[in-house]
Structures are given as structure tokens and as C-alpha cells.
Amino acid sequence: MTDDEASVLEGQILYYRARANEYDDWFLRLGRYDRGEDATQRWFAQIEEVRDVLSSLPLDDKNVLELAPGTGIWTEALCDRVAHLTAVDASSEMIALNRERLGARAGKVTFVEADLFEWLPTEEFDAVVFCFWLSHIPTRRIDEFLSRVATMLTLGGAVFFLDARREPTSTASDHVLPFDDQEIMTRRLDDGREFSIYKNFWDGPVLEEKCRHAGLEVSVHETKDYFQFGVGTRV
């Protein structure tokens, strides 16, 4: 890892720790993320498309791993179905909000505070889920990450990931997405503080091939405007 990469990744963790209490504003389309009624309606309609896909996966009564669970938007849906969920996040602030969201259901979840580039499990899982994390991985580390996901899964285990398409209205009104040949983006908090993070957007067929090379047979799909998601298995 280069010094520059290490610096951005460290800042990325600090950003999400600092952003924890305002993170849901993005998902709920509030404040700087409100792009008008029509955009909000399309956003939530497409969220429901993704939820339908996730709910169709064979996760009932399974042992599932969620990477970068954040405030628990997707953890909540998962823990209602699974036998047990392990949730790994680098931010103690995010984990605290996740626990609060789940309430009594947090008893089904083992929370782990760890850097996802360093953490390795001591067991295999029936499924691995990660939402809005893939785009924050440096390009040169994507193959390594996908290979590690494969090792976390039982043979035939399910993988599901969700991330953003390159759509300017998906982010805050005062954010500018990086150009195609860039992977560093400046993010701003409500109090004006700025952080540099990784933000990559992947072509679906390229991502499918990278998954295949890692031992994951994945089909990548997109909603009309906002989201890209992958569904597959370890082979």
C-alpha cells in the first residue's frame, strides 16, 4: 500500500465515523440530498426493486456476514430472516446507531469493529452481503477484495452487493462525482468539513469478469437511474 493510498483510506474511515449521525439523510433524501419530489419518488421505487431482489435470496435461517453495515439500513432486513448475522464495520459510531436501530433484534447480530482491508473471519458463511462498500475500494485492490469474499463463503454460498450508479443526483447537491479516469472524491459534511474518499463506478460486465476470476459467479444488474447490484454464488 502506498502512503497516499493509506492516507485516503484512513481519511475515509474518519469520514464515515464523522458522518454517522447524518448518514441516513442521504438514504432518506433529506437536506443536501433532496433533489426534488420526482427524483425522490424514483429513488425509493428503485430501492424497492433492490429490496425485492434481496428478499428473494435464500437467506432464511442462514449464517450470514454483512460487510460495512453502517447504520443498519440493510442489517434490519437481514436480521429479520437469518439465523445469525455477523456485521463488520470500521466505525464504532455506525455500529452504535445500528444497534439502536435493531433494538432487541441486535441479539441475533455479532458486531465486529474492524478495518475491512485487514479483517478475516475464522469461519465460512452461507452468504455475504455488502451494500455501498464496493465503490469505496481502490481500483488496484478490487481483485484482492473479491477473492477474500470468496474465501468467506461456503461452496455454493450466496453473495449480494449493492452500490450506486454514476448519477449526479444520487449524492449531495454540493458534491461533484469524480471523472471516469479518477477515483478520489471530495465529500463534505453538514458542518463544512471535507474528506477525500475512494469512489469508483464499475461497468457491469467488467465487474462480472472480476467476480468470476475470484471464484464468484455473479450477475450484475442496474435499476433505471440509481443503483447497481450483483447476485451470485461461490463456485
Residue pLDDT, tens place only, 62-79 = 999 999 999 999 999 999
Contact call for residues 126 and 159 (beta carbons, < 8 A): no
| Helices 92-102 & 3-19 angle (0-180, nearest 10) | 40
Does 92 fall in a domain?
no
Q: What is the pTM of this model?
A: 0.96
- State the chain's mean pLDDT as an integer: 97
pLDDT greater than 80 at residue 1: no
Does 84 fall in a domain?
no
Residues 31-42: pLDDT tens digits?
A: 999 999 999 999
The full 3-state SS of the chain, as one line of letters, equals CCHHHHHHHHHHHHHHHHHHHHHHHHHHCCHHHCCCHHHHHHHHHHHHHHHHHHHHCCCCCCEEEEECCCCCCCHHHHHCCCCEEEEEECCHHHHHHHHHHHHHHHHHEEEEECCCCCCCCCCCEEEEEEECCHHHCCHHHHHHHHHHHHHHEEEEEEEEEEEECCCHHHCCCCCCCCCCCCCEEEEECCCCCEEEEECCCCCHHHHHHHHHHHCEEEEEEECCCCEEEEEEEEC
Does 74 fall in a domain?
no
The mean per-residue pLDDT over the stretch 17-28 comes to 98
- CATH code at position 168: 3.40.50.150
The mean per-residue pLDDT over the stretch 174-186 comes to 95
Residues 95-154: pLDDT tens digits?
A: 999 999 999 999 999 999 999 999 999 999 999 999 999 999 999 999 999 999 999 999
What number of other Cβ atoms are within 10 A of residue 99's Cβ?
A: 17
Does 97 fall in a domain?
no
From 193, 187, 162, 194, select the one nearest 173 (Cα to Cα): 187
Does 100 fall in a domain?
no
pLDDT of residue 3: 75
Percent of the chain with pLDDT over 70: 100
Does 94 fall in a domain?
no
How far is residue 188 from each of residues 75, 167, 171, 191, 197, measured CA to CA in Å? 25, 18, 11, 8, 11
Does 88 fall in a domain?
no
Parent domain of 198: 3-69+118-234
Does 87 fall in a domain?
no
From first CA to last CA, the distance across the chain in angstroms is 29
Number of domains in the chain: 1
